[in-house]
């Protein structure tokens, strides 16, 4: 069925012709048949089937031809800013011959320009949930005149954690009976259906089967390859296929940047797009890719549902996606609107765990092979360390985790503007993997501080106490003195041992005590006298009192025996005699 067969506004027909729309895609035909009368819709259709044009034509036709909708607005909610920009561009083309103003609103850029657009008047508002909430709460965006609500990529909204934001927004919109609500989703999702039942009135369900829409029209091939050979295989495919345009998908932001930079080292003009890039940079990369000046784009899944490139010839999954559904969205960038394309996937020892779920989801077994040496090309970047950059992360898409799983609202900082100190990742001291300051930025270690003195910012926790360090220093000094005893005279050695072992009586007992017996040693006795063996709470405790006064201990009187008389003779010689015998002194 052709668009000209519908009774559409003449200006809308001119816009469709300018956009190149002649024959309706199945989803476009069904949406127009069921939605032009104002009924709520729940549409399940795969990516790349023309959903955007379907709801835009419905909104534009009703806004200009229904007198009851004069001065009303449309609100289109999308998960990513790339998709917001894409929808805005298509709305401007299709509505180019109509007096309808469209604008997109998303995080990562300043509020100023967006607030100016709202003051001038916008009929079709396209936005990401976080930024729309911010503008509505600040009073810049009035939503009381919204007559159309479109939730595009509804399943993606749930995956990214936007459901609470959607509910919050819907509450400030006119009641269900006073607006037309259209939900579009690539997959049948219980959560999406619940949303449809909760916020629509008798929605008409439209399901477009996936056969002959994306997967079956794409030439798919899976390569079993080790992780360290992926880059060589990628270079080999580029040399062999010579694609006019190529998107390479990676699972992580870091890997996307690394692959793009390795391609540049190998002589290919490539760039990457990740959620952390400033908005101006992201738009510049996408525009270059769409215009054809950039042939190769490396991206995360943030670009899987937001980049519509005409005649994209090839998609390569450098990493197999963790979610089976994303496989379809990735390769769906090629073979758009009934065209054909090629999709190659690399399956390493790490990716193989994702393969069964993907094949169950698409209900076919992907043809596979093992590449030979002739399929690999030498990688000039092999062994080269690739340094990745750091960017501000302030956006509404799936690369963020700052707001649930969906991303933050975009705080309004301009591109390149730094966050206040203490909030951004680049502000303040460098952080360790555990979140604390790195060692070089941390406070001095306890061993570097003067003993016994508390430093500013010290929390009182030390590896070695001041008393422990003092004891350790004394032991070290004694050890050094022991090594130099041979240099001392006899008298100096005697003085040293007196100081080390105490009185003559203590030294004699130490000499007569069996080896290894530490009971009643001079060191232990001295420690007990200084209170070193008490618990910390007993250090300053006064002695026990008896009848109000401390009673000194009386020595026990015993009668002298033969053994004590013999011992008394030994005591006379004392330490002097012991040392003379030991060292041969006179």
pLDDT, tens digit, 9 for 90 and up, residues 369-423: 999 999 999 999 998 999 888 765 433 443 333 333 333 344 344 333 333 333 3
Element (H, E) at 224: strand 218-224
pLDDT band at 161 (very low <50, low <70, confident <90, very high): confident
pLDDT recorded at residue 387: 87
Question: What ranges do the domains of the chain cover?
Answer: 3-207, 215-375
452: number of Cβ within 10 Å:
10
CA distance 288 to 260: 15
pLDDT recorded at residue 555: 53
What is the share, in percent, of the chain residues with pLDDT greater than 90? 39
Contacts of 331 (CB under 8 A, 6+ apart): 214, 215, 218, 220, 315, 317, 341, 343
Closest CA to 82 of 271, 259, 275: 275
* CA-only gyration radius of the chain, Å: 40
567: number of Cβ within 10 Å:
13
Least confident of 138-142, 175-179, 469-473: 469-473
CA distance 393 to 399: 9
Identify the three-state secondary structure at position 76. strand
Closest CA to 542 of 530, 550, 533: 550
pLDDT recorded at residue 441: 34
* Strand pairing report for 146-151 and 73-77: parallel
Residue 343 — φ and ψ, nearest 5°? -135, 115
CATH topology match: 3-207 vs 215-375: yes
183: number of Cβ within 10 Å:
26
Contacts of 314 (CB under 8 A, 6+ apart): 241, 243, 245, 246, 247, 334, 341, 342, 343, 344
Residue with structure tokens 């007559």?
147
Distances (CA, A) of 351 to 348, 373, 491: 5, 21, 80
- What token pair was written down for 480? 């050094």
CA distance 396 to 263: 28
Task: Out of 3.40.50.720, 3.30.300.210, 3.40.50.300, 2.40.100.10, select the CATH number for domain 3-207.
Answer: 3.40.50.300
Residue 103 pairs with which residues in a beta bridge?
125
CA distance 170 to 92: 25
Element (H, E) at 369: strand 368-369
Entry pTM: 0.55
pLDDT recorded at residue 503: 52
pLDDT recorded at residue 487: 60
- Taking domain 215-375, whether its CATH number is 3.40.50.300 is answered by yes
Q: What's the average model confidence in pLDDT over 165-179?
A: 91
Buried b (16+ CB within 10 A) or exposed e, 70-103: eebbbbbbbbbbbbbbbbbbbbbbbbebbebbbb
Element (H, E) at 469: helix 466-483
Closest CA to 150 of 285, 46, 54, 214: 54
CA distance 59 to 45: 19
- Residue 92 per-residue DSSP state: H
Is 390 or 227 the better-scoring residue by pLDDT? 227
- Say if residues 208 and 26 touch (Cβ distance below 8 Å): yes
Q: What's the average model confidence in pLDDT over 87-110?
A: 92
pLDDT band at 305 (very low <50, low <70, confident <90, very high): low
- Say if residues 151 and 132 touch (Cβ distance below 8 Å): no
7: number of Cβ within 10 Å:
9
53 has a pLDDT exceeding 80: yes
């Amino acid at each position: 069925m052709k668009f000209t067969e519908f009774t559409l506004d003449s200006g809308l027909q001119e816009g469709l012709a300018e956009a190149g729309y002649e024959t309706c895609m199945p989803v476009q035909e069904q949406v127009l048949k069921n939605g032009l009368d104002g009924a709520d819709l729940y549409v399940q259709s795969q990516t790349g089937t023309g959903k955007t044009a379907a709801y835009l034509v419905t909104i534009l036709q009703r806004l200009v031809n229904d007198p009851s909708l004069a001065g009303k607005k449309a609100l289109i909610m999308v998960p990513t800013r790339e998709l917001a920009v894409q929808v805005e561009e298509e709305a401007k083309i299709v509505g180019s011959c109509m007096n309808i103003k469209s604008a997109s609103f998303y995080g990562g850029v300043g509020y100023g320009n967006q607030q100016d657009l709202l003051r001038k008047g916008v009929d079709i508002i396209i936005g990401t949930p976080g930024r729309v909430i911010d503008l509505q709460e600040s009073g810049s965006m009035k939503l009381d005149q919204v007559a159309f609500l479109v939730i595009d990529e509804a399943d993606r909204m749930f995956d990214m954690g936007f459901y609470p934001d959607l509910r919050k927004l819907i509450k400030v919109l006119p009641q269900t009976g006073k607006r037309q609500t259209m939900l579009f989703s690539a997959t049948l999702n219980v959560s999406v259906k619940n949303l449809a039942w909760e916020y629509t009135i008798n929605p008409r369900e439209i399901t477009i089967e996936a056969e002959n829409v994306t997967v079956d029209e794409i030439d798919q091939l899976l390569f079993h390859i080790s992780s360290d050979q992926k880059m060589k295989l990628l270079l080999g495919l580029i040399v062999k296929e010579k694609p006019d345009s190529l998107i390479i998908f990676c699972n992580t932001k870091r890997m996307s940047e690394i692959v793009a930079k390795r391609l540049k080292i190998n002589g290919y003009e490539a760039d990457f797009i990740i959620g952390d890039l400033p908005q101006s940079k992201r738009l510049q990369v996408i525009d270059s890719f769409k215009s054809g000046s950039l042939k190769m784009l490396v991206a995360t899944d943030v670009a899987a549902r937001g980049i519509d490139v005409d005649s994209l010839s090839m998609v390569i999954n450098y990493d197999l996606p963790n979610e089976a559904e994303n496989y379809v969205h990735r390769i769906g960038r090629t073979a758009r609107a009934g065209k054909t394309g090629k999709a190659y996937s690399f399956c390493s020892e790490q990716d193989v765990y994702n393969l069964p779920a993907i094949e169950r989801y698409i209900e076919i077994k992907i043809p596979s092979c093992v590449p030979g040496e002739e399929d690999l090309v030498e990688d000039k970047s092999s062994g080269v360390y690739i340094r990745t950059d750091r960017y501000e992360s302030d956006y509404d898409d799936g690369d963020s985790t700052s707001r649930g799983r969906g991303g933050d609202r975009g705080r309004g900082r301009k591109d390149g503007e730094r966050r206040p100190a203490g909030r951004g990742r680049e502000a303040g001291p460098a952080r360790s993997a555990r979140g604390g300051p790195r060692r070089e930025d941390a406070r001095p270690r306890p061993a570097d501080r003067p003993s016994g003195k508390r430093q500013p910012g010290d929390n009182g926790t030390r590896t070695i106490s001041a008393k422990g360090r003092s004891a350790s220093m004394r032991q070290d000094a004694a050890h050094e003195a022991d090594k130099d005893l041979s240099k001392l005279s006899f008298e100096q050695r005697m003085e040293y041992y007196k100081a080390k072992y105490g009185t003559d009586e203590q030294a004699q007992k130490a000499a007569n005590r069996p080896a290894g017996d530490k009971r009643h040693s001079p060191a232990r006795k001295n420690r007990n006298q200084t209170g070193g063996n008490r618990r910390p709470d007993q250090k300053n405790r006064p002695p026990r009192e008896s009848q109000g006064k401390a009673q000194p201990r009386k020595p026990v009187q015993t009668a002298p025996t033969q053994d004590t008389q013999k011992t008394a003779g030994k005591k006379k010689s004392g330490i002097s005699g012991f040392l003379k015998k030991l060292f041969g002194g006179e």
